[in-house]
Chains A and B, each alone.
Chain A
Amino acid sequence: MTFSHDIVIVGAGGAGLMAALYAAEEGADVAVVSKLHPLRSHTGAAQGGIGAALGNEEEDSWLWHAFDTVKGSDYLGDQDAIEQMCKDAPRTIIELEHYGVPFSRTNEGKIAQRRFGGHTRNFGEAPVRRACYAADRTGHVILHTLYEQCVKKQVRFYDEYQVLDLLMTEGGTCNGVVAYEILTGDVHTFHAKAVCFATGGYGRVFKTTSNAHAGTGDGFALAVRAGVPLQDMEFVQFHPTGLYRLGILITEGARGEGGILRNSEGERFMERYAPTVKDLAPRDMVSQCIYTEIREGRGINGKEYVHLDMTHVGKEVLEHKLPEISTFSRVYLGIDPVEQPIPVAPTCHYAMGGIPTNVDGQVVRSGDRSDIVPGFYACGECACVSVHGANRLGTNSLLDLVVFGRRTGMAMAAAIKADNKKAALSENPEKRTRDTLESIMARSDGEKAVSIRTDLQETMMKNVSVYRNDDTLAESLSDLKDLRRRVKSVTVEDKGRKFNTDLMDAVEILFMMDYAEAIAAGAKNRTESRGAHSREDFSSRDDENWLKHTLFFGKGDDGYDIEYKDVTITRFQPKERKY
């Protein structure tokens, strides 16, 4: 079947819904296609907060926020975009509040704010309260509120439709997507004037992750296949505090409220690495420090974790400000954080890189920033504006979603108003998708998706995580080549048409192969350490050669090309990054 809408948004997390809402506000005909019910999107897992210089708790300014973000990004973020985001932030948060987001409140009834890693006052002086929050379920309340508003605005939702192809005309204009209706097994075409990807992150290519099972990065793969580059994929954020072995996130807000990291000697080791902000140093640093502690034999009981000590914080704060994380440690580890420290280790958390866009969500297809793909937009974690550069600060992702989701929605609506003609579809747009699905279903012997995925996750975790070097990266690339061969024989046991999750697992592993390479290849090429990309063999930052964005062009079995793009610098000249 062919559905036709002005705007088709793929993904219903914070970014997709924000874009949908603001486009719908402008009266556009918007459809949101999501493989999960919108409320199941991983934005709902975001805990700690959303950054904006509201100054509700103490003096703050958007410029300080911008500085922190630039510094946090290890100067790889594009400063024009960062300025835009930090300037837009307060207004966007206020709009969210007006839409009904139930933020926690200060005594005066304003939106409450807390401290978060890397956010400081007066260009690095001391931590500042900038993260607006709703206890430790900030993402959850934002996601729900946005969905509610979209329902109110009668946005058309296609729930549990998994997009499997991005449609482009010969001339490179985007005119729709092909989606698989999970419930029935039917394949449909969505014909649109504007397509927006908001498909979220790819945490699931790593073994230990805070991301959902659905975080398989489908959007990255679809973009690569359509000839769109991926930018800065080597920058993968490992969050310092995931529950040991499970990877479930313990928000940075826990340290914002006073939590302390300790090694096996009980030492508050962050004091050594970041004397000013200590435990509230940015994530890349803290994760690296934890790994260093572990490597030097100061992991707890000789194992690969350290302790997050909340015992001095008190029951009151844990119960009121951090109830979720208390529940997590109680349920999953049987540990009460009021009495015992929580075992934590870094967990793959966030994709700094992604589909390159400008500040209006338009996808840029080369090093030339004006070279956009007509009709194709992206926002949220799958996009790379780039405001996070080499390392994202906590609370800046939700902010990225809402600020750029909003801008993208408005930009798409404006584009529709200017010209509502859709580029014609090709002869048989669903062919490629149907062929892939049929060949998987028809294959009787081969390998199940799970074993390929497990091996992929292992090699990524072992070779491309917090610390990397030329050897590990070379190893991962050769593993990936091998996996790429194996994935051709992926099979399914479920041969039914209806709700075939086995088939979608197989499709997802195909997707993963298409961008995992971008992470490893980008990392191998970048012979410096910057932000989350930490090379043992090149341990310092090299602005001379590497103050530039990576652009990865995948060519399927024929390898890939890598190009580079300049970083935009406005106010803040690169300096050594010290906390």
Chain B
Amino acid sequence: MNITVKIKRFDPEKDDAARWESYSVEADKMDRALDVLMDIKWHHDGSLTFRKSCAHGVCGSDAMKINGENKLACSVLLQDLVKEGGTLTFEPLPAASVIKDLVVDQSGFFEKYRAVMPWLINDSPAPEKERYQSAEDHEIIEEATKCILCGACTHSCPSTWADPDYLGPAALLKAYRYVFDTRDEESEERLKIVDSPNGLWKCYTIFNCVQACPKEIDITRWLSALKRKAVTTRF
């Protein structure tokens, strides 16, 4: 099918502000949005810049705003985005500083990730075998471990748009994953971090993150559990 692709472009060495550029592209309805971008880069304009790697939604490289919603370009098909003759738009993730075209600076995103101590803390002597964890206990955190840290959620959250320092759903979900891991011993410390002015309480249960998550994680549900935990531990 023939579609018009509009891309919000920005070349740090030439442009003062972002500009829209349109391309007319021949594509198949079963193509991924990423295929369209690659096609443009390879056959129309080699300077078009975006991140990509796995091309099937597991590495988290290509989160961007597609037709106004944050998605992974490699995980949506054209048939779900445009009709014959229609227009498809690409923009970088909102509330992030743009490096070039669709590439954004994720250093702030990962600073938030590091802030929640995203690692297992268990200082008691390690047993000979694995630390046991029941299948039920594992299930509590299982969905949260699916997160690929693409940033679609954090950058879809109005709280982040308003306050770029808000920890954001991705980091908080990581905190959840460790606080609720039965093997972890340092949930208090981590709770103190998320229970800070830039933390958990800026989540107003807006659900944008849930809608944006390419891994279909029910983020708000887990953050609510984290809030309850923070409250009950505090009192």
Residues of A within 8 A of B (CB): 36-37, 39-42, 44-45, 93-94, 97-100, 102-111, 134-135, 137, 140-141, 144-145, 148-149, 151-152, 183, 212-214, 246, 248, 324, 327-328, 331-334, 448, 450, 492-502
Contacts and interface: CB of A to CB of B under 8 A. Distances in A.
A244 B16 CA distance: 44
A259 to B, nearest CB: 19
B42 A494 contact: no
A518 B101 CA distance: 37
B59 A40 contact: yes
Interface in B114-128: 114, 117-120, 122, 126, 128
23 contacts: A39-B149, A40-B61, A42-B54, A94-B128, A98-B131, A102-B138, A102-B181, A104-B135, A104-B142, A140-B146, A145-B120, A151-B114, A151-B119, A183-B99, A213-B55, A331-B57, A450-B43, A498-B12, A498-B99, A498-B100, A499-B49, A500-B49, A502-B46
A496 B13 contact: yes
Main secondary structure of the interface of B (DSSP, over half): loop
Contact of A499 (B43, B75, B103, B106): B103
B26 to A, nearest CB: 17
B56 interface: yes
A496 B41 CA distance: 15
Contact of A98 (B13, B58, B122): B122
A108 B119 contact: no
Contacts of A107: 134-135
A98 B146 CA distance: 19
B47 A36 contact: no
Contacts of B42: 448, 450
A258 B126 CA distance: 36
B133 to A, nearest CB: 5
Contacts of A41: 59
Interface string B26-52: 000010100000000111011101111
B59 A42 contact: yes
A327 B72 CA distance: 14
A344 to B, nearest CB: 14
A110 B54 contact: no
Given A498-B13, A499-B99, A45 B77 contact: no
A334 to B, nearest CB: 8
A498 B126 CA distance: 47
A104 B130 CA distance: 12
Contacts of A183: 99
Contacts of B99: 183, 498-499
A89 to B, nearest CB: 13
Nearest to A35: B53
B130 A111 contact: yes
Contacts of B110: 37
Contacts of A501: 41, 49-50
B235 interface: no
Given A213-B55, A214-B53, A448-B42, A151 B118 contact: yes
B75 to A, nearest CB: 6
Given A37-B106, A140-B148, A108 B132 contact: yes
Contact of B60 (A39, A152, A213, A248): A39
B119 A40 contact: no
B141 interface: yes
The winner among B59, B126, B129, B142 for most chain A CB atoms within 10 A is: B59
Contacts of A39: 59-60, 148-149
B134 A105 contact: yes
B183 interface: yes
Interface of B: 11-14, 30, 32, 41-43, 45-47, 49-61, 75-77, 99-100, 103, 106, 110, 114, 117-120, 122, 126, 128-135, 137-138, 141-142, 145-146, 148-149, 177-178, 181, 183-184
A141 B58 CA distance: 11
Nearest to A496: B13
Contacts of B132: 108-110
B56 A104 contact: no
B134 to A, nearest CB: 5
B130 A332 contact: no
A45 B130 contact: no
A102 B145 contact: yes
A200 to B, nearest CB: 11
A44 B148 contact: yes
Nearest to B134: A109
Contacts of A104: 135, 138, 142
B100 A499 contact: yes
Contact of B55 (A134, A149, A212, A498): A212
A100 B131 CA distance: 9
A497 B13 contact: yes
Given A105-B133, A450-B42, A496-B13, A100 B56 contact: no
B33 to A, nearest CB: 12
Nearest to B34: A213
Contacts of A328: 56
B55 to A, nearest CB: 6
B120 A100 contact: yes
Contacts of B177: 102
